[in-house]
Amino acid sequence: MAVGQKDQLVNISVSVWPHPTNPATIMRAGQTLPDPAFSTVSDSKGFFSVATLSFDAPTASRGSGQYKRRFYFRLSGSFVDRTSGNDQLIQLLPLWWNYELTNSQWSGQGDLTNTNNSPSFYFYMTPGFTQNDALIRIILSWGTLISNPSNTIPDLDLVIAGPVTQESINTFGNGIVNFANKDAKAQASNQILPYAKIITDSAQGYGPEVFDFYGTPGANPPTIGFSPTYSNNAAANAYEVWVDRPNSSPNTDNSFTTIADTNSFILLYFNDGVKNEQQLSDARTGVEYAYGFYNRDVWNHVPLDATMWHIIDISQAEQGIKWQGFPGENGTDRSEQAGAKYAYNSADFIPTKQVPCGHTSARGANPPYCPATLHYPQTKK
C-alpha cells in the first residue's frame, strides 16, 4: 500500500480495528473509540504493509473460504508542502477504509477476491480545507488490477456532468468537466455552473483524481450550487460523477485493462462550516462498512465491457448523495439511457466517446445537453 506523494510524506500512522469493532458506528453514537488492535507506521516514502492479520477464531475445521473477517483502518499523519518555497508541515485529514479477508489461501497468481490477500492500494489523503476552497471534495483512487496484482497501474479519469444555465452553455457548450477542459473551466468554476473544479488528475495512472465542488456565489450559508433554470426537484439537477478509462492514442499502454478489473474507490470529504472530515456513508446507505463507494461493492459491480461507470450523484432532489437507482444498474440492460449506470460505447481507442449523462429535457434539464461527447487528445502532453 502507498499513500500520496512519496517524497513529501511524514510517516503515516496506520491503525487497525478488526470486526466487530466498527469505528464508524462507534463514533456516530458519540462513544469513545477503543484503542486499535494494532498500529504500524509507513516508511519515509509512504509505503506500508501488514504481513499477518489474525481471524481470532479456530479455522482448522473450516473449509477454505468459509471464514471471513473485515478489518477497518485509519490513515493519519502529515505532509511537507513545498509550494510556497518554504517547506511547511501540514496535517492531513484522517482517511478511513476497510477490507474483508477470508481463510482462503491466495495461490500467488490471479484474482485476489475472496482470498486472504489484498491488492496493492494507493491512498491519496487531503489536508483540511475551508468552505472557500470547497464544500465537498471527492477523491478517486485505485490500486493494481484485480485479476492480476502485478505492477500494472490502470489510467482512469473522473468526469463530472453538472447542472447548467444558458450562460454556462454559451460559455462552455455543455456541463462536462474533465481533463480535456480543466484549464478553461478552472478559471470560472466558482462563478459559472457547473461549480466543479479539478484539483489534480492522474498522469498515465499515477496520482489521484480530485474534484472540488463549490457553493452558489454569495449564498449564506454556503450551499452546493444547482441550476435555477431546471424544473423543480428535477432528477437532472445533480453533479453526476463518472469514472472513465481514457480513450486517446497516448493511453494505448492501457488498452488491455478495463474499469471492471480495477480496485477503484471514491472517498468524499465535506466541510459544513463546523466539521471538515471524511463522509462515511454507513448511516445513509444502511451498510455498516460503506466508508465510500468502490468497484465490487453492493451497488457497483462494473460489467466487463463497461467503458464508463456512473458512481454517485450530488443531487438536489435527493438532498445529498445518490448512490443507487440509476438506469441499467443491474448490469443486464446495455441501452444508453439518460443518467445510466454504465456506458458501453467506444471501447476502442478513437478520438471521442459519448457519455449517456442525465441532463435531458425529459429529466427536467433546461437547457439540456446530454448525451455529451468527450474529446481526447491524440498526442501526449
For 142-199, the pLDDT digits (tens) are: 877 888 776 666 778 899 999 999 999 999 999 999 888 877 777 888 889 999 998 8
Band of residue 359 on the pLDDT scale cut at 50, 70, 90:
very high
**pLDDT of amino acid 336:** 84
Residue type, 65: G
**CA contacts within 13 A on the Cβ side of 180:** 20
List pLDDT tens digits, range 205-214: 556 889 999 9
**pLDDT of amino acid 86:** 81
Residue 111's alpha-carbon distances to 49, 150, 247, 335, in angstroms, are 19, 11, 25, 29
List pLDDT tens digits, range 291-330: 999 998 999 999 988 999 999 999 999 999 999 999 999 8
Residue with cell 444502511: 286
Cβ neighbours of 379 (radius 10 Å):
7
CA–CA–CA angle 45, 250, 376 (5° rounding): 110
Q: Which residues pair with 18 in a beta bridge?
A: 71
- Give the residue, 11 or 243, on which the prediction is more confident: 243
- Give the residue, 377 or 78, on which the prediction is more confident: 78
Cβ neighbours of 322 (radius 10 Å):
18
| 116 backbone φψ class: left, alpha, beta (φ>0; ψ -120 to 50) | alpha
Contacts of 113 (CB under 8 A, 6+ apart): 146, 296
pLDDT higher than 90, residue 255: no
List pLDDT tens digits, range 72-129: 999 998 888 777 778 888 899 999 999 888 777 777 777 777 777 766 777 888 999 9
**pLDDT of amino acid 1:** 40
Q: How far apart are CA 313 and CA 326, in angstroms?
A: 10
Cβ neighbours of 219 (radius 10 Å):
10
